[in-house]
Every structure is written in C-alpha cells, then in structure tokens.
Amino acid sequence: MKAIRVHALGGPDVLTYEDIPDPTPKAGEALVKVEAAGVNFIDIYQRVGVYKLTLPLTLGLEGAGTVTAVGAGVTDVRVGDRVAWTSVPGGYAELCAVPADRLVKLPPGVTTRQGAAMMLQGLTAHYLTHSTFPLQQGQTCLVHAGAGGVGLLLTQIAKLRGARVITTVSTEEKAALSREAGADHVVLYTRQDFEAEVKQITAGKGVAVVYDSVGQDTFAKSLNCLAPRGMLVLFGQSSGVVPAVDPQVLSQKGSLFFTRPTLVHYIVTRDELQQRAADLFGWIGGGKLRLRTEFEFKLKDAAEAHKALAARKTTGKVLLIP
C-alpha cells in the first residue's frame, strides 16, 4: 500500500510517499480502507520533533473508511462497516489497522469525509466545552483561531450551550466564517489588541474561560482576559511553546486556573468515546453542527497540506484523500 512516511525530522520535505507492506489486523484490531485522513497541527509537531517518536513512522492520528478485515476477538465492528477513529497513528495511508474499541460506526447521514473531519477536532471541541470547562448558559468565552477546524466547531458547540462567544481571527474572510459559525464578537488580532477588545466587550469583567490553541503568541494576554477565578485552557501551541508559569501570577491575576488538557484523557473508555461521538453525530444529522471540509489534498500531496496548514491558509478541516 501507499503511505506517507517520516524517516528524519524536519520540514514538509521529509514527508515521503512510498510503498510499505499492507498491515494485518492483530487480535482486537480491524483493518480499515482509508477514504479520508485528517491533517492536524499535532502531525506537524510530530514531524518536526516537538513530540518525540520512534522513526520511521507513518503520520496521521485520525481517519475514516470501511472495514475490510477483522482480527480475532473483534465484535464491535464487522467487515463492511463505515467507521472513523482518532488518537491512533498511521492514518496517512491507504490502509490502517485500528484497535476495534477505538472505532466508532458512522450513521447513515454522516459521510466518511465528515467522519474524518469530525473526530479529533470535534471530540476536542466537545470535551473542552463539556468537561474541561463545562460552559453554562450566559457565560462568555474567548476562542482563539476562531476560523480553524476546532475554532469553528467550538464556537458552534459553545452557542448550543448558551454561551456568548468572542473569537480571534487574522483576516476579514476568516472573520466572516467565524460569524457564520455563531460568534457574537470577532476580533481581528492583526489590527486590534484582543486583550483591549475583550475588556471593552465585557465591560472590564473579563471572560469565564479562554480556549487557546495558539500558545506562545497569545498566552500572556489570554491570562489578562480572564475574570477572577476564570480558566485558561491551553490545548495547542501552533505559535510555539509557552513560557514557564509562576503559580503566584495566577493568584495575583484573580485566583485563576490554568490547564493543559489533551484528547486521549477524555476518551479513555469506549463508553466515553461513543457518548461524545454520538452527540456530534446527532448535531451533524440534525443540522446543528456544520463541518467545513473544502480543503482536500491527495495523499501524495501531504507536504502541501502541511505547508498550507502551517501558513494559516486553510479554514475548517484539512483532509488527505488516498
């Protein structure tokens, strides 16, 4: 089969499109013919070595497709099922062996492209708004990268929970997408100081929570945007690693909370994975949650997909199509 492999850490040019042996499903695994694979910033972090992994490796932590074979003991899925997964490596390939208990079946109203687009980013938006900081009716949140894949989903889900949403974006085009997703206020951080804008919007009170996937460039001002006892949720670092945090600063700024969650800890059990996915499927099927999947690249063009994502040239979800 064809796959995107990394033999050395570095820029997009280290991604090689090559033939590797077809995987064989082990006990408890299912073999999936990949019809779409999601591209995420974590893939870039792995490629450059922010997260240390053993080389060579096949990138890709989410995808969707059709089960073609199952290993011993598999009862959760069967051959022919349309499925999606996340937090399992090897998605940048024509075939992927996935632990069956990490697969969720796609309902009839959800395409495999939507399944691949939804898993990592949709589940992330779900746990952020329902578990890390469960948004309540009337609360105000700040969402950075509001036109990105997680940002658009997070905005929509926050509105479903009755929150007021402030987002930051870089261009007027992205601002329009963010407003379309339901953002109440959109700040163009390339022209405006988002800290000053947030304080003006909230009459100096600050927001209950900041959902920050940007990191280094936004971290200090994000803390300043919080109301007393507010929470900064750092779930990504697209601009770089944040500096060390002195706990005393959290006290001085209003007894703030700071957390660095990651998806795998919020889908530990199969029940939790299925419950979160079921919510997302239901919202998609009911027209309450819209996915943007217009940025598609052929599998062999994974390097171009990485360049586009890193350069902030995409909105919504970036997919690779084998």
Could you say which of 260, 287, 308 is where a domain stops?
Answer: 260
Q: What pLDDT does 225 receive?
A: 98
The answer to the question of residue 84 being in a domain is yes
Q: Are residues 304 and 272 in the same domain?
A: yes
Q: What pLDDT does 217 receive?
A: 86
In the sheet with 57-58, reading across from the earlier edge strand, the strands are 15-19, 2-6, 57-58
Q: What pLDDT does 242 receive?
A: 86
Q: Are residues 37 and 16 in the same domain?
A: yes
Q: Which residues contact 122 (CB under 8 A, 6 or more apart)?
A: 153, 280, 289, 291
CATH number at 254 reads 3.40.50.720
Q: Are residues 286 and 249 in the same domain?
A: no
Virtual torsion, Cα 250, 252, 255, 260, nearest 10 deg: -10
Q: What pLDDT does 198 receive?
A: 98
Distance set, CA 311 to CA 10, 306, 307, 314, 319 (Å): 16, 8, 6, 8, 16
Could you say which of 212, 241, 260 is where a domain stops?
Answer: 260
Q: Are residues 250 and 302 in the same domain?
A: no
The rounded mean pLDDT for the chain is 95
Distance set, CA 25 to CA 213, 253, 264, 322 (Å): 35, 52, 22, 20
Split into its structural domains, the chain has a count of: 2
Strands 29-39 vs 318-321: parallel, antiparallel or unpaired: antiparallel
Query: Is the pLDDT score of 191 beyond 90?
Result: yes
The answer to the question of residue 44 being in a domain is yes
CA angle 41, 169, 137 (to 5 degrees): 95
Contact present, 146 and 183 (Cβ < 8 Å): yes
Nearest to 166 by CA among 198, 136, 138, 192: 198
Q: Which domain holds residue 251?
A: 136-260
Q: What pLDDT does 215 receive?
A: 83
The answer to the question of residue 17 being in a domain is yes
Q: Are residues 49 and 102 in the same domain?
A: yes
The answer to the question of residue 226 being in a domain is yes
The answer to the question of residue 129 being in a domain is no
Q: Are residues 49 and 148 in the same domain?
A: no
Query: Is the pLDDT score of 195 beyond 80?
Result: yes
Residues forming beta bridges with residue 83, ordered by sequence position: 65, 105
Query: What is the C-alpha to C-alpha distance for residues 140 and 213, in angstroms, rounded to an integer?
Result: 18
Residue with tokens 């929570």: 209
